[in-house]
Structure 1
Amino acid sequence: MPTLKDRTAIVTGSSSGIGQSIAVRLAHEGANVVIDYAGHPEGADETLRQVTAAGAKGIVVQADVSKVEAVRSLVDQAWKAFGCADILVNNAGMEKRSDFWETGEEDYDRVLGVNLKGPFFLTQAFVQRLREVKKPGRVINISSVHEDMAFPGFATYCASKGGLRMLMRDLAVELGPLGMTVNNIAPGAIATPINKSLLEDKPKLNALLANIPLGRLGTPEDVANLVAFLASDEAAYVNGSTFTVDGGLSRNYHEQ
């Protein structure tokens, strides 16, 4: 029996990688899926194909989550298509490498816009609609081990993920009385297209694997499995927590 039958999930950044796996997994659990993408329509169409193949319904929406008007439209389109949206997965994210002393305002604004401003205002729009009809909901943020761990050269990324951790904690308290739970999932090293250069650099990859007690990179499915649990009724009393999915990396990591 599907655990998310008659539920609707918005999954941002779901045209590839972790987001795509989350969308497909939720579809297998019976949820309708709103597939958000920013710049790769062919990837979003492939996600929709897999969602449909899983027996679920889905729609594709282009929305840059750093734009408030876009996230409000995203929520509106979800409600128009399915009558409600009660699961939100804030997955869209980006990183930009630069030494702190050389980081410009444009890069700062872009990274913080996608990784922190986006979840803030999309969650706000998501909650406003549910609050109007007095329905409960689930908010699941895909954060990073770098909400806690330092990552030299990625100060903007760490700041955004640290902010997302505190936002989750605050909203878990503020939204709990409305019947809404808010949690973070913090992936470590996951084999996705964004890590293509790492996967092709054997010495660097082997050095990383030596720091992971399980001796392997994670898969997008490792993250998607936990999302499915947190979205389900089985996680009804789970609120205000970060769940680390990193094979033990953060307990054994030494910056090179």
Structure 2
Amino acid sequence: MLLQGKTMLVTGGSAGIGRAAAVGAARHGADVAINYLHDDEGAASCVAEIEALGRRAFALHGDVADPETANSFVDSAVAALGKVDIFVNNAGICPFHAFLDMPVETFERTMRVNLHGAYFMVQAAANRMVAQGHGGSIVAVSSISALVGGEYQTHYTPTKAGVHSLMQSAAIALGRHGIRCNSVLPGTILTDINKDDLADPAKRAYMEGRIPLGRLGQPDDLAGPIVFLASDLAHYVTGAALLVDGGAFVNLQ
């Protein structure tokens, strides 16, 4: 019960890594609020799963690309659950596309969701933590793509590098307030973002063959690392980045 008595807020919490983090936190004693955009059914089932664990839960619809959503989510979650101790920035998109004919709207939407959304969400959560006066933990879901390129991800990889960099700078800016800021860098995790790309058996087998642990990741593989960074076990960890990739990055050569 590493998060007993804590309250966690998670963006993009209706599915994938966000949902795994939300439910994982509840298993460790946290009350959880999630933000989501499209999946009403997924959000409702996530809330039900958290409540079945004996914890309080709250869900709020909103597009993280709109800066107003940040304050709305934090304010509504605190009104429902009382406080914010942990903030997990997870919401993100990756519409795969070639570089030379990248549509402007695809590039800009990816930037607004992944990077601008992270900035304003983290800022809103941090302001609330500062006002509360008892510190906190912010964890951002970056990606192995912050460290390596991708032919069809020229719009996506810069956003994930930016999220990682944001956590480094925020760690400096917020350390005096007792707020720790860290990122997790997932490898290839089976989520809605890449399910179509990995539907090709040959592509999937190739990806699995590059991973020392021999399999693609599941959303639940991120729950433990996120809970750890959110917990008091990591009370002297800030500005750090934790690879959660089955060893893919060290095997790239």
Code of the aligned partner of 2:174:
L
Q: After superposing the two structures, state which structure 1 stretch, 140-149 or 190-199, moved more.
A: 190-199
Q: Which runs of 5+ in 2 are unaligned?
A: none
Q: Which runs of 5+ in 1 are unaligned?
A: none
| Per-residue CA distance 1:191-227 (angstroms, 9 max, x = gap) | 2233322443111111111111111111111101111
CA distance in 2, matches of 1:158, 1:199: 18
Q: TM-score, normalised by structure 1?
A: 0.95
Cα deviation for residue 6 of structure 1 reads 1.9
User: Counterpart of 2:140 in 1: which secondary structure?
Assistant: strand
CA distance in 2, matches of 1:211, 1:5: 38
Corresponding residue number in structure 2 for 1:176: 175
Q: How does 1:35-50 map to 2 (within 5 A)?
A: 35-50=34-49
Q: TM-score, normalised by structure 2?
A: 0.97
Cα deviation for residue 133 of structure 1 reads 2.7
Q: Between Structure 1 and Structure 2, how many residues are aligned?
A: 253
Q: After superposing the two structures, state which structure 1 stretch, 159-168 or 189-198, moved more.
A: 189-198
Corresponding residue number in structure 2 for 1:231: 230
| Per-residue CA distance 1:111-142 (angstroms, 9 max, x = gap) | 01111111111111111122123220110001
Asked if 1:162 corresponds to 2:161, the answer is: yes
Corresponding residue number in structure 2 for 1:86: 85
**Alpha-carbon contact 2:94-2:193 (below 8 Å) kept:** no
| Per-residue CA distance 1:48-106 (angstroms, 9 max, x = gap) | 11101111100110111111111110000011112211100001110122222211221
**Identical positions, percent:** 38
Q: Which one has a larger percent helix, Structure 1 or Structure 2? A: 1
CA distance in 2, matches of 1:95, 1:194: 6
Asked if 1:138 corresponds to 2:170, the answer is: no
Code of the aligned partner of 2:244:
V
Corresponding residue number in structure 2 for 1:221: 220
User: Counterpart of 1:247 in 2: which secondary structure?
Assistant: coil
Cα deviation for residue 232 of structure 1 reads 0.7
CA distance in 2, matches of 1:237, 1:127: 18
CA distance in 2, matches of 1:246, 1:130: 30
CA distance in 2, matches of 1:155, 1:12: 23
After the TM superposition, which segments of 4 or more aligned residues of structure 1 sit over 4 Å from their partners?
Answer: none
CA distance in 1, matches of 2:153, 2:23: 30
CA distance in 1, matches of 2:100, 2:41: 37
